[in-house]
Structure 1
């Protein structure tokens, strides 16, 4: 049964990603890159300074806290297991295509998060919320499409991504002697589910506080260990670059077996890791209290770079510089653990397991924050009943347990399909609405050249809609 389901999902994903999503991701990302005059490069320094700004109102969600929520979802098992899987199954060149997705996707992340800020809504307690479902309804005048997107996001994060995160975590324990394929996945899944439930029943404020504290610490320690590995094997780095670029431009191999090529794995796993353009981060971006929508667009663009160009690259280089040849048998956490053990010994195994515990937990929390926001949207922008939320959260916790016991191919295929559906809705939507985001950018640049701290008014870019903010 599982084999037939896997074959069915794989056949759909093959068409979904090529030609549809490859064309959409690259073409729309390039269009945004040129229309914003390479904002990824021009405003990189500006994005760092914006992150450090305090919110407009005391106690409101800051740009930094919104960054941490989106980074908590982005920075997860995909940064370790996803990159390892891409290299082991797709080849060295997957790293290059992962970089391309991040660089081009940075512009898409800017557009979608700026739109989320423009169309954000005001809650009764004065806080803001929003995301793609809201800018689709308000900007494209289609609540039906907004609901479809919200449903696809809920399925992607509550089921696809959370199942996969749980599965990826338990694979890191396969290297230990105590691992029992019949019992260990259940024990790990149950433990993770119970700990997650303790947090999610505390509400959104606790989620933001928890992730803003843990994510920076988690990321810095991981990068330090990666740098140690790279420095120790520095003589092998030129060979690593050579292998990456040779494999990335081996077009005969790529188009000879596209579904399993370095290009396809790099794009899939890069997208899974940084989520640029699929419509997840705008849900966090809309919660920030700032003076101009562009500021949060820049913050989320920076989040993509932190995820892929720093953390994912750290994983790739510490593995590839170890001298351990990537193979299908080592795909996932075992390849990273095997690589680290060449210098750190058994500590490498423990470190990756610990990193995955932290990465996975913050991913689950960030994912469920997005889910809550979209359940709210589907219920006519009202909080669902306590009974419904209790049942749903119990279901979400059960999915985490189920994910730890799933099959590897099935877990990835489900996530790829659901993520692809989200991107297929969000990318055309932000393309149609991009004129407003680009006009917003021009307004920001104009005020900056005048020496002002930019403050946005919707009338300045010709918007006549009755917005909750910016009028």
Structure 2
């Protein structure tokens, strides 16, 4: 336990504290110290890709797709899988928590870090495409950080089958996704108990049964997410647009509040600028998962004409997650009178905001949305697990099925009770994934930049 808490605090705790005027301070964790500079570096190296190539991202999303490899998925399908895991419960409760702790200004820093994360997402997704392999079990392709880390450390003519860092990444990922499974189960059962007074055992049993039917089949994952993700994200976006139009008169004051508080004009005097900056930055970084190495596990599976195309698609995925979906949650909250939500946190705060805007329908809608977001996240993380299980244990159905059963058990246990140790273990998992991924991402980024230059020269021009 001592080692556990040491690693947790090293990854997520304030490694250094910078004092600010007005008595405020900014605490920087190891992960923030790694991801923010890396995001700036990749943004500069790609010549500000999120801004410069945004029209090209949209073009790649809507272009006609053709799959040549049997069992493979398209670039957009890989985007849908990664979006399913990015657009999880954090987009609902996490944004509310960031604003509660850091005020409206946290939204601006959430946007800022998402733009940096887009460049990081491009680099890791492009590398995943460059080092993908054929998948003998599921068909199509597989890959991700474990595979490009392996190629970075192991020479082609070497007889070694595993790289230590790649093995550590894969293990960290499997630990992380088990922890997330418990969080998903608990979040869904709690939301349905609050909204409909349904006992957790019933909600959890139905959730696990439906999930088992999908994940234990060979290739049902992609088909299900193709349906769920566009519907859930689209409905949430449309409901938010309706709420914004309904409260259009308040919109200028909301944006004024976001930008005024973003730079601590009021908070610096009160000593709270550090909370504004860091809560927004952390929310942006860990909502879109850029740099953690999760999304590349889906990006590698895409059968696409150029590696940089998948990089652009995954960069666009960060935009969908943070700029669109997280902003929806922020607007729902900021357009609610402060006196109605004072003292409320988490799901209670969001449900109260929705009740103000849409009455009882709002509460039911949020419960159903959380169910869909969480369910799609569970399906998505098991897709991520495939190449990592294969890297560790080889190509066999036994190891693949055993990990799926373990995740289903975690989902069931989480639905009945909250085990904070397991949840913290999940946080450690994603933290370690990020560390191991970033070890090679910066030195290998040259290959991703070369791929981007080739794509721009031969396709865009």
Deviation at 1:198, TM superposition (A): 1.4
| TM-score with structure 2 setting the length | 0.87
Q: Residue 407 and residue 375 in structure 1: after superposition, are their counterparts in 2 closer, same or farther (change >3 A)?
A: same
What is the CA-CA distance between 1:424 and the residue it aligns to? 1.5
TM-score by length of 1: 0.85
Aligned equivalent of 2:184, options 144, 159, 165: 165
- Structure 2: distance between partners of 1:368 and 1:254: 45
Contact 2:184/2:378 (<8 A) preserved: yes
Report the equivalent of 1:267.
281
On the 8 A contact 1:164/1:415 being kept in 2, the answer is no
| Aligned position for 1:35 | 45
Greater shift, 117-126 or 63-72, is seen at 117-126
In structure 2, C-alpha distance between the alignment counterparts of 1:169 and 1:254, rounded to whole Å: 37
Task: Give 1:81 deviation, angstroms.
Answer: 1.6
CA distance in 2, matches of 1:206, 1:323: 44
- Preserved CA contact (<8 Å) 2:69 2:140: no
Q: Match for residue 405 of structure 2?
A: 394
1:184-333 alignment, distance < 5 Å: 184-203=199-218, 205-250=219-264, 252=268, 261-324=275-338, 329-333=343-347
Q: Which runs of 5+ in 2 are unaligned?
A: 16-26, 155-161
Residue matched to 2:171: 151
Q: Which deviates more, 19-28 or 267-276?
A: 267-276
Counterpart of 1:96 (choices 101, 105, 108) is 108
CA distance in 2, matches of 1:362, 1:344: 25
Partners of 2:342 and 2:433 lie apart in 1 by 29
1:314/1:411 Cα in 2 relative to 1: closer, same or farther (>3 Å)? farther
SS in 2 for 1:172: helix
Whether the 8 Å CA contact 2:102–2:279 is kept in 1: the answer is yes
Higher mean alpha-carbon deviation, 16-25 vs 367-376, is at 16-25
Please say if residues 144 and 300 of structure 2, whose CA atoms lie closer than 8 Å, have aligned partners that are also in contact.
yes
Residues 336 and 353 in structure 2, CA contact (< 8 A), matched pair in contact too: yes
Is the contact made by 1:55 and 1:63 (CA closer than 8 Å) also made in structure 2? no
Instruction: Return the alpha-carbon distance in structure 2 between the equivalents of residues 358 and 343 of structure 1.
Output: 21
**Bigger CA drift: 263-272 or 22-31?**
263-272
1:318 and 1:208, CA in 2 relative to 1: closer, same or farther beyond 3 A?
same
The gaps in structure 1 that reach 5 residues or longer are 451-471
Alpha-carbon separation, structure 1, partners of 2:263 and 2:412: 40
Q: Distance in 2 between matches of 1:6 and 1:351?
A: 38
Q: Distance in 2 between matches of 1:26 and 1:389?
A: 35
Alpha carbons 1:113, 1:297 under 8 Å: kept: yes
**TM superposition shift of 1:50:** 1.4
Structure-2 change in CA distance of 1:411 and 1:448 (3 Å): same
> What per-residue deviation string (whole Å, max 9, x for no partner) do you get for residues 27-71 of structure 1?
110111011001111111111221233135165311111111111
Distance in 2 of aligned mates of 1:416 and 1:266: 18
**Any conservation in 1 of the 2:193–2:200 contact (CA below 8 Å)?**
no
1:416 counterpart = 2:427: yes
Shift of 1:208: 0.8
State the secondary structure of the residue aligned to 2:192: coil
Cα 1:273/1:329, change in 2 over 3 Å = same
Aligned length: 437
* 2:438 pairs with 1:427: yes
Contact 1:200 1:207 in 2 (8 A): yes
Give how far 1:140 is off.
Answer: 3.5
Q: Kindly indicate whether the alpha-carbon contact (under 8 Å) linking 2:39 and 2:120 is maintained by their aligned counterparts in 1.
A: yes
Aligned to 1:46: 56
Q: CA deviation at 1:393?
A: 2.3
Alpha-carbon distance in structure 1 between the residues aligned to 2:122 and 2:7: 35
Two-structure CA RMSD over aligned residues (Å): 2.7
1:79 CA drift (Å): 1.3
1:14 corresponds to which residue?
Answer: 13
